[in-house]
Amino acid sequence: MATSPTTTPLRPDPTPLRHDFGLEELESLLARPLLDLLFEAQLVHRAHFPANAVQLSQLLSIKTGGCSEDCGYCPQASRYDTGVEREQTLAVDEVLARAKAAKEGGASRFCMGAAWRSPKDHELQPVLEMVKGVKALGLEACATLGMLSEAQAGALKEAGLDYYNHNLDTSPEHYGEIITTRTYQDRLDTLSHVRGAGMHVCSGGIVGLGESRRDRAGLLQALANQPEHPESVPINLLVKVGGTPLAQVDDLDPFELVRTIAVARLIMPKSYVRLSAGREQMSDELHALCFMAGANSIFWGAKLLTTPNPSGDRDQRLFQRLGLSPLVPGA
Ligand code: SAM
Ligand code: DTB
Ligand code: SF4
């Protein structure tokens, strides 16, 4: 008699991904002794990624300033007097010249950001051309343009976009303290349109907004308990910009950033965890702790969207000091 095919995998995945984290569970993970967290996070990191390699994404603001939203951290909101002027959308050729330079400078992903609440369909057209051009250069393409409809997500996928960035920013409980012009659910809806269109999701948040540790647990819970983990999880440290409501918020203990990264690594083991905004002020030693905690991606290049980021020279020296090399996905 023929045997029926087995449904049990020969080598079951030793770390099935979870989507059912409890808030207390994550809060107590965040509170673990720091060295335990670093050790556990390194083990998980090394089980899924090369140990000493960091992925490099380069950002470009393709439409700066004049945004209608009230995100309390953001220098591009028109209602805050931050010195960032409203600009027109950059020309496609200029964006592609910047993408080419990013590739030559060592980046593997090019991320285009626009200060929109959500793009109007006529505003999306040139972005579709940019995406096609970035892909033709052999780069991964990412965009962050605000809220998307299902149809807009489909059009971006069709143009070849690999990743869409849309952050949850903070916990559902703290969210109303930071943003009132769009809801948490609006953000989750955009993420589900991105996922539905078949793109990779890049979604994370900001620490140092004056939130509690429980809020950081709530952000991590909201990220990991989605039907699929975001493939890329940016953890930004607030860049305090004069004129924004959060300009005077107290500094966060930097070890809280390290803890947040470590727990992101533990609960989303297969995702890239990006040490994102805020690196300009960080020492090489704090960078090293963040990599130890499982961060394996950074923004590369001397500017984020409107604020400074470490220069390529400084980051090259950092990589040399730490024995790191650029990670090229799929290479
Ligand atoms: N306008 C689009 C949106 O909000 O979705 C895309 C661009 S917006 C600048 C992308 C993300 O950058 C925000 O969600 C936030 O997480 C991050 N960000 C903005 N300003 C920041 C700051 N001052 N410090 C740290 N992160 C910041
Ligand atoms: C993300 O999580 N951080 C980036 C990117 N995604 C778009 C943006 C950081 C912006 C920092 C403030 C500025 O330069 O305007
Ligand atoms: Fe506008 Fe995005 Fe800044 Fe919010 S974060 S004010 S939506 S550019």
Cβ contacts of 29 within 8 Å, gap of 6 or more: 37, 217, 263, 266, 267
**Ligand 2 site, CB within 6 A:** 59, 75, 113, 144, 165, 167, 204, 234, 236, 239, 276-277, 304-307
Per cent of the chain over pLDDT 70 is 95
Ligand 3 atom 4: residue of nearest CA: 71
* Cα 64 to ligand 3 centroid, rounded to whole Å: 10
Span 174-182, mean pLDDT? 98
Q: How far apart are CA 224 and CA 71, in angstroms?
A: 23
* Cα 166 to ligand 1 centroid, rounded to whole Å: 9
252: confidence class by pLDDT, cuts 50, 70, 90: very high
13: confidence class by pLDDT, cuts 50, 70, 90: low
Is 77 touching ligand 3 by the criterion CB < 6 Å?
yes
Backbone angles phi, psi at 45, to 5 degrees: -60, -50
Instruction: Using the atom order of ligand 2, give the atom closest to the CA of residue 111.
Output: 7
pLDDT, position 328: 85
pLDDT, position 14: 60
E strands present in 33-83 = 53-63
pLDDT, position 80: 98
Ligand 2 atom 1: residue of nearest CA: 234
Cβ contacts of 138 within 8 Å, gap of 6 or more: 103
In terms of phi and psi (left: phi > 0; alpha: psi -120 to 50; beta: otherwise), the region of 226 is: beta
Is residue 5 pLDDT above 90, yes or no? no
* Span 25-57, pLDDT tens digits: 999 999 999 999 999 999 999 999 999 999 999
* Span 82-128, pLDDT tens digits: 999 999 999 999 999 999 999 999 999 999 999 999 999 999 999 99
Per cent of the chain over pLDDT 90 is 94
pLDDT, position 2: 36
State the DSSP string of 261-303. HHHHHHHSTTSEEEE-TTGGG--HHHHHHHHHTT--EEE-SSB
Answer yes or no: pTM beyond 0.85: yes
- Which residue among the candidates 74, 98, 109, 290 is catalytic per the annotation? 74
- Which residue among the candidates 98, 109, 187, 202 is catalytic per the annotation? 202
pLDDT, position 8: 39
Is residue 1 pLDDT above 70, yes or no? no
Q: Is 290 a catalytic residue?
A: no
pLDDT, position 7: 37
Q: Please, what sign has the CA dihedral across residues 64, 141, 182, 74?
A: negative
Q: Please, what sign has the CA dihedral across residues 154, 156, 159, 163?
A: negative
185: confidence class by pLDDT, cuts 50, 70, 90: very high
Span 288-314, mean pLDDT? 97
Is 79 touching ligand 3 by the criterion CB < 6 Å?
no
Ligand nearest to C-alpha 119: 1
Cβ contacts of 150 within 8 Å, gap of 6 or more: 193, 196, 197
* Cα 256 to ligand 1 centroid, rounded to whole Å: 20
15: confidence class by pLDDT, cuts 50, 70, 90: low
Is residue 4 pLDDT above 70, yes or no? no
pLDDT, position 331: 72
* Span 263-295, pLDDT tens digits: 999 999 999 999 999 999 999 999 999 999 999
